[in-house]
Structure 1
């Protein structure tokens, strides 16, 4: 009996131990749950249990916050995601123990005017300082450490709003990158409007994306031969920078690297560069001279868009591709397209209002949409014999163009292709065109005569609308062929013009006929 009682109580004790042990396990699993520190701030413990993360304001309702370096005998290493988001902080002290500032950590803290970033920080998350619009200064103690910080986006760098960078209490105007720096990080000095000059040492091999974007007071720049890469937007919006010494070591210039450098007057692309990337010189209004080396094989989209002072550029034969919008709204007066080019992209030379003449070589097979649209000074264009495609609106608004020959290689004319060419008087359409698109010649108000081949089977709606000067249509086929053409609505000026039918010899029957005399259409 005693033995049975002993076993009963032993089993009961074991059961109670297990029952009381369960809550301890649960508590252990929740060891990283938020807790309030002695300073009233909210913290969590890292997953590995080795450090603390500031996760919120907790019960601390002060506007001046001091983050401790130690909490619960653990180092405080991170400021968590959204930790101080939308709080009316006026100042915050970040200890040297902090290595990371999380996503949106100070977003909408629009009362902070100044912040000190310790050397220990290596990462600042997405939108960490988004709309911290009252920031006027950022304080650091080590340029090399600052260059190594990984900023997730523009508003993760407090300089994006603050503009003024202070090194050991002194406003940085002449920035000297230390010899210990190998790479200048993305967004490192974005919008640092106090910087007037930058000296980059031989130790640096790369300049990150948007590293100096928006340094609007920058006038002096030294880039050593050690640099092989300049990132996307690296010097964009440096609106006071008149010259940029591009070293011969450089092999890569990123998209938009010099976008908006509105004071830049000249540039030389070294032999080490093979591609001029997208938007590299977009909006360089003062750029008058550029030398493109024979090593370059392509010019990217928007590469020279809005370079309104660029009147001349030599495109070397090494280039095989010119991107969309590449020279849109530039100041070009003439352009020679090399035989190496096979296509002209959409809007490539659009709105080049000073461009007077252009020759498209036989190597080109396609002309993109609006490629020469609104080139209002263009009086002459020679289209190569191998062009098979002319895009919609390709020559729309070329109001100075007086005559036009479309080669036999072209099979169709797109929508609005030559619309609003208000000085155009004669058009010769090649022998293989089958379709003239909608509104192709609309508003060509001075067009008097046009040669239409018998290959045409469709003249689309409004193709010749408002061509109120049209008198003569020289058709290369017979009256029967003409009557078989499907002519769309609103082409009254075309159908009411005199239609002349081609005849090699003088016809014996009555009617309206024509032939060529020295290449000129002449009525029999």
Structure 2
């Protein structure tokens, strides 16, 4: 059986050779041949072709006329075109291609004109052309290609790869997809208008097109591949609403100044999508944007998105609050030297390593959903104050290291593990507030601050001795149970994660607030010893600094606050009430116009059901439930009244020593 099989194979092979060898002809250096069916006729390839070559519409072989339907490439009909030239690859003497009028050629094979460096033009491209195979025109000298009237729906892989003289392309109206590297390295290509049916632009398609500054992307396009516009000097780009996927490093090194993705359907932010876009200043992201939620840190780390996404851009600020992002990837905003503010979403759980390192970010509100801040995440930024949310369980090594402007850190978490050197080399750090009402592992909260010698650690008095007993020979850290407060305004909102005593100052008063629907006004009630997590309004000296005693959780005299409608912000609180949320602004309560973060350490007024008369005017304010001359808490008198009132709103005929209301302002008579 083996011997018979071998004989049949040889007969078949030689039969194929003889059949093809007798069925071809050459015209002006172009070889044409018949396939085994003795009907299909194609251009086999080169037989000394030079200059302008023409593909005939019809040729005569063995006395019969045959219509030419294709141009052979390296791997086309490999079982039939044995021993014959296949394509024109490497022929540097060809200068142009002309398809004869009425040409019926429908396809051009793979690598057919690869490295034909002298090929400049293609003339008379037939309307019936539907396929240009992989790497067909790689490395040619083509300057312009008009495919607009062809039936091509796919530009195949590497079809025009590395055509350095190609300046423009007219694409087919029915084009749906660009395969990988279709125009990669076309350094003279400067303009692309996408036909209306394009759906997918795959990986590396326009990478290295160093003259491509303008791309008009059609609606209906859904996918942009990896590195698709890498190192293209794009200055503008319109992202269609149908776009649902952008792959890694798609716009790396572009010259975009803005990127509005807000109308797209993107779900995931790809790694490096705008990496090293040094002119990019503004980005808008869609509300559909999210990241996979694996449920634990290890798995989340394996499924990160957004690594290097905006690294080395010129973004000044970015608002992520409308997104559903769960994590910020490695180096996502690293080296953003113009970045000052970032608004984070309420869904965020993880900030991964180096996410903001070496950026100029000056302020950030960390959401209460945050569980982990990875190593070096905020290294060497411009942050001045940091509030670590209650639910944050881990802060990695060097997470806030080398922050020269950092002065104050609040750690609200009851079980927050801080890695060694988490806040190291922050030379201006003065105050670290550890608010836990459970006994913390004191050692966790000291080693992270090594190499800094001047800060004070403020703790609940119950655990003060635990901290004082630590071996802290590496620095001169102080420990106490005091809270330092500086008022930026005469009237301000406030919330603390500590129990605090306000009774030590005559010129500082803490109030709770209740809305009176009958009077359509807010009544303020003074309080002294206040439980942690109580929303307050403070009145004191603008710019004044007050040192308040932190009280133990079981301290005597802590007031049970009732009917307080101030929402406490120990951590940041996402406000969506709009009609029901009121914020203190310029000394008056005003309605919230937009969703947004209420900052940690502040409070805001929530009126369930809204105001009685639905008025848009600022709310009137009463002190201690009694009307006074104050018509709203403001730095300027609203009502001119020379009389003096005590803090209960009672008019005083002959005021002497004490604190009084005069012309709408609090005054102290000595």
Q: Structure 1 residue 260 and structure 2 residue 231: aligned?
A: yes
Picking from 323, 336, 340, the partner of 1:356 is 340
Question: Where does structure 1 lack aligned partners over 5 or more consecutive residues?
Answer: 1-20, 34-43, 53-64, 80-90, 166-171, 507-514
Q: Cα offset for 1:205?
A: 2.2
Q: Partners in 1 of 2:429 and 2:455 — Cα distance?
A: 8
The TM-score, its normalising length taken from structure 2, stands at 0.55
CA contact (8 A) 1:369 1:392 kept: yes
Q: 1:82-140 CA distances to partner (integer Å, 9 max, x unpaired)?
A: xxxxxxxxx9x9x999844259x99xxx9975679998752359xx97xx8xx734577
Q: Partners in 1 of 2:209 and 2:218 — Cα distance?
A: 19
Equivalent residue number for residue 365 of structure 1: 349
Q: Structure 1 residue 136 and structure 2 residue 117: aligned?
A: yes
Equivalent residue number for residue 110 of structure 2: 123
Q: Structure 1 residue 439 and structure 2 residue 408: aligned?
A: no
Q: Cα offset for 1:335?
A: 0.9
SS at match of 1:450: strand
Picking from 390, 400, 404, the partner of 2:386 is 404
Q: Structure 1 residue 190 and structure 2 residue 161: aligned?
A: yes
Aligned 1:498-509 pairs, distance under 5 A: 498-501=478-481
Picking from 74, 80, 87, the partner of 1:101 is 74
Equivalent residue number for residue 294 of structure 1: 263
- Work out the number of aligned pairs and report it: 434
Equivalent residue number for residue 466 of structure 2: 481
Q: 1:175-221 CA distances to partner (integer Å, 9 max, x unpaired)?
A: 44442222221211112121212221322222222212222212222
SS at match of 1:244: strand
Q: 1:425-451 CA distances to partner (integer Å, 9 max, x unpaired)?
A: 221122324321133122222223322
CA contact (8 A) 2:132 2:155 kept: no
Equivalent residue number for residue 303 of structure 1: 273
Q: Cα offset for 1:455?
A: 2.7
TM-aligned CA distance change 1:521 to 1:329, over 3 Å: farther
Q: Partners in 2 of 1:112 and 1:433 — Cα distance?
A: 72
SS at match of 1:313: strand
TM-aligned CA distance change 1:157 to 1:480, over 3 Å: farther
Q: Cα offset for 1:329?
A: 1.3
Q: Cα offset for 1:143?
A: 5.6
Q: Partners in 2 of 1:250 and 1:212 — Cα distance?
A: 18
Picking from 455, 473, 482, the partner of 1:471 is 455
CA contact (8 A) 2:321 2:343 kept: no
Equivalent residue number for residue 451 of structure 1: 433
Q: Partners in 2 of 1:25 and 1:361 — Cα distance?
A: 71
SS at match of 2:364: strand
Q: Partners in 2 of 1:450 and 1:266 — Cα distance?
A: 46
Q: Partners in 1 of 2:290 and 2:133 — Cα distance?
A: 37
Q: 1:393-439 CA distances to partner (integer Å, 9 max, x unpaired)?
A: 111121x2222111111011112211121221221122324321133
Q: Cα offset for 1:332?
A: 0.5
Aligned 1:318-397 pairs, distance under 5 A: 318-321=288-291, 323-343=306-326, 344-375=328-359, 377-397=360-380
Q: Partners in 2 of 1:463 and 1:289 — Cα distance?
A: 39
Q: Cα offset for 1:475?
A: 3.0
TM-aligned CA distance change 1:474 to 1:199, over 3 Å: same
TM-aligned CA distance change 1:182 to 1:102, over 3 Å: closer
CA contact (8 A) 1:457 1:484 kept: no
CA contact (8 A) 1:347 1:369 kept: yes
Higher fraction of strand: 2
Q: Structure 1 residue 228 and structure 2 residue 196: aligned?
A: no
Q: Partners in 1 of 2:207 and 2:2 — Cα distance?
A: 61
CA contact (8 A) 1:182 1:204 kept: yes
CA contact (8 A) 2:110 2:136 kept: no
Q: Partners in 2 of 1:150 and 1:461 — Cα distance?
A: 66
CA contact (8 A) 1:339 1:363 kept: no
CA contact (8 A) 1:143 1:177 kept: no
CA contact (8 A) 2:243 2:265 kept: yes
TM-aligned CA distance change 1:436 to 1:475, over 3 Å: same
Q: Cα offset for 1:384?
A: 0.9
Q: Partners in 1 of 2:545 and 2:396 — Cα distance?
A: 26
Q: Partners in 2 of 1:187 and 1:482 — Cα distance?
A: 66
Q: Partners in 2 of 1:70 and 1:228 — Cα distance?
A: 37
Equivalent residue number for residue 634 of structure 2: none
Equivalent residue number for residue 477 of structure 2: 497
Q: CA RMSD in A?
A: 4.7
Q: Partners in 1 of 2:6 and 2:441 — Cα distance?
A: 83
